[in-house]
Amino acid sequence: MIASAQVETTLLVLKLAFLVLLYVFIWRIVRSAARDLRLPQESMVLSPQQVAAYLPQPTARELARLVVAASPAIAAGTSFAIGTASVFIGRSANNDIVIASDEYASGRHARFEPRRDGVYVEDIGSTNGTFVNGTQVTRAHRLAPGDVVRAGETDLRFEA
Amino acid sequence: MSWGSLGYAAFFFALYLAAHMIARATVPEADPALLPMAGLLTAIGLTEIYRLGPTDAFKQGLWIVIGVALFAATLIGLRRDYRILESYKYLFGLGAIVLLFLPSIPGLGTTVNGARLWVSIGGFTFQPGEIAKIFLIIFLAGYLRGKREVLAQGRLKDLGPLLVIWGACMLVLVETNDLGSALLYFGIFLAMVYIATGRVAYVLSGVGLFAVGGFGAYEKIPHVHERVVIWLQPWTTKPVYCPLNGLPALRQDCQSYQLVKSLYSIGNGGFTGTGLGNGTFSTTTGTPLIPFVNTDFIYSALAQELGLIGASAMLLVFMVFVARGMKIAIQADDGFSKLLAAGLTFGFALQTFIIVGGVLRLIPLTGITLPFVSYGGSSVVTNFVLLAGLLLVSNRANARS
């Protein structure tokens, strides 16, 4: 009798363990899917960065600007301001500079990051790389006025 | 536990690893979650089939091997550019029609359980309708991509192809006595037309046409009529005419025996189920309670042994699979890939809905397999090819972004 009770307990534990395992599997997959969906969030609740845009900004000043020199996606001469937040360039719509029709650029291609000592450009895992004056950047690179940054087939001139 | 069952587990795991390696080598950028989900469903299905009858599990194992082989062949053959299929769209359309009518050819077709869906060659039986499903989706993806602008304008003469396909579906329905397949093909067709044109009017008129056709079949075809009666009133309190032997009997002891026993089976599972291997599927004398439990009714077997919680988990896996398939369709950047991924995913979803809905008595029951889980060679093989198609589209979409 004791033996059969033990068998039943074991079976019950195994049964519940199997059900738990099933849900762990689903949870892992849903979590990895949710991670893909997190970036382009369409929500009415503003994120802290978005709230910052609505606040009066005493230090809101333009540090520098990027002027399009040549691009298959944007008209040459268009300029983008670099303020206090990072500026992203890439083909997907969630970038600050969207170059959707640039076949050689990646979805999220590069980031322009204002730091205390100037504006840095950093490649964020693009397929074809990011270049400054024809040299590929492997880590964050500080830009000097007049530098030409190339992402895909788009050339941007940095002006301070 | 026996060495035999462990052997199955080890063999299946090795097979899964092989499929995984091939997928990694040919489509490295593809969605990483689809294959594990398919593997899980196949494993649960094989376990349940083994538990219900080890002989069937051996045959099913063989079919899974063939399925994985075709999965690999599809991936390797089309890894460069699957869009070459688009050039052969009319060939696929023709192929689908030929396959659909194959069971109607005397001497070749076999009738099982009132539906004429099987082809038997040399003792080797398969269901050509399953493969026809994939062919139809490839044809529609290619055809609708070219015709979407014309169809979106919605002139009356452009409705021609819609009517032709509706007619073909109804012909298949009459020929094969099978409402499920007709609903599946027509549903896939409507969904793909909607995705291509974005016009709800097509869906509404299509549903209307199907309702008319379905009502006609209900009136004229006894087999279809019976299914609806069983669906609406499976239980009777007084003996009624039983068409099986012509004698009066309670309906639950006659036509709806299978459905009612399956409902009892689901009910017996409760919340956490009886546990795998502990369910009741035969009487004390050893007669099976639910005929065809490992094909059409595998869901009720699993619902008994895994309970509401386990059966819900399985449906969740199906749901996540469909969600990821639709995401692939959204990510793909050319019309053919979008339509292909959406069509394959929708076919998978609708098939699951038709059989689970039928077993749960939400809609009239029609014999169709539960993808990856049910016993049935053609179904397993087809679903592995479908999975390969989704992985190919996903690989291309992810590699480009």
**Is-contact A150 A130, C-beta < 8 A?**
yes
Distance CA B35, CA B72 (A): 12
Does the CB of A35 have a partner CB in chain B at under 8 Å?
A: no
Contact B323 A33 (CB under 8 A): yes
The CA distance from B71 to B87, in Å, is 21
Nearest to A18 among B37, B276, B324 (CB): B276
**DSSP-derived 3-state class of residue B119:** strand
Walk along chain B (401 residues) and give the pLDDT tens digit of each residue. 567 778 888 999 999 999 999 999 999 989 889 999 999 999 999 999 998 888 888 889 999 999 999 999 999 999 888 989 988 988 998 888 888 878 777 767 766 666 666 776 655 677 888 888 899 899 989 988 888 777 777 676 766 766 777 777 667 767 776 777 888 888 898 899 888 888 888 889 888 988 888 888 888 888 888 888 889 989 988 888 887 777 888 888 888 888 899 999 999 999 988 888 888 888 777 777 887 787 888 999 999 999 999 999 999 999 999 999 999 998 888 889 999 999 999 999 999 999 999 999 999 888 788 999 999 888 999 999 999 999 999 999 888 76
Most confident range (mean pLDDT) of A56-60, A63-67, B120-124 is A63-67
**Structure token pair of residue B106:** 């005397």
Instruction: Report the residue of B16, B324, B333, B394 to disrupt the A interface, i.e. the one with the largest count of A CBs within 10 Å.
Output: B324
Residue A60 has pLDDT above 70, yes or no: no
List the alpha helices (DSSP H) in B154-288: 160-176, 179-197, 200-220, 222-232, 257-269
How far apart, in whole angstroms, are the C-alpha atoms of residue B120 and residue B122? 6
- Angle between helix B160-176 and helix B89-101 axes, rounded to 10 deg: 30
State the pTM of this model: 0.74
**A26–B36 CB contact, under 8 Å:** no
pLDDT tens string A7-42: 888 888 988 899 999 999 999 888 887 776 655 545
pLDDT at residue B317, rounded to an integer: 95
- As a whole number, mean pLDDT of residues A56-65 equals 63
- What residues of B are in contact with residue A36 (Cβ under 8 Å)? 327
CB contact under 8 A, A29 and B276: no
| Confidence (pLDDT) at A97 | 87
Cβ within 8 Å, pair B327-A22: no
Do residues B166 and B129 make contact, with C-beta atoms less than 8 angstroms apart?
no
- A–B: how many Cβ contacts below 8 A? 50
Distance between CA atoms of B231 and B239, rounded to whole angstroms? 17
Query: Nearest CA of chain A to the CA of B274: how many Å?
Result: 8
Reported confidence tier of residue A46, pLDDT bands at 50, 70, 90: low
Please tell me the predicted confidence (pLDDT) of residue B373: 93
Over 70: is that where the pLDDT of A129 sits? Answer: yes
Nearest to B177 by CA among B224, B110, B210, B130: B224
The number of helix segments (H) and strand segments (E) in chain B equals 13, 5
Whether residue A7 lies within 8 A of chain B, CB to CB, comes out as no
A11 contacts in B (CB within 8 Å)?
275, 278
Calpha distance B350→A151 (Å, rounded): 44
Show the beta-strand stretches assigned E in chain A. Answer: 64-70, 79-82, 87-90, 97-98, 110-115, 118-123, 130-132, 135-136, 141-142, 148-151, 154-159
At residue B22, the pLDDT reads: 94
Residue A77 predicted with pLDDT over 60? yes
Max intra-chain CA distance, chain B: 67
- For A38-51, what is the mean pLDDT? 60
* Model pLDDT, residue B400: 76
For B87-108, give the DSSP string: GGHHHHHHHHHHHHHGGGSTTT
Phi-psi region of B387 (alpha: psi -120 to 50; beta: other; left: phi over 0): alpha
B-chain residues near A25 (CB < 8 A): 36, 40, 317
Contact at CB, A15 and B276, closer than 8 angstroms: yes
pLDDT of residue B355: 93
Query: Residue holding tokens 């045959």?
Result: B59
pLDDT > 70: percent of chain A: 82
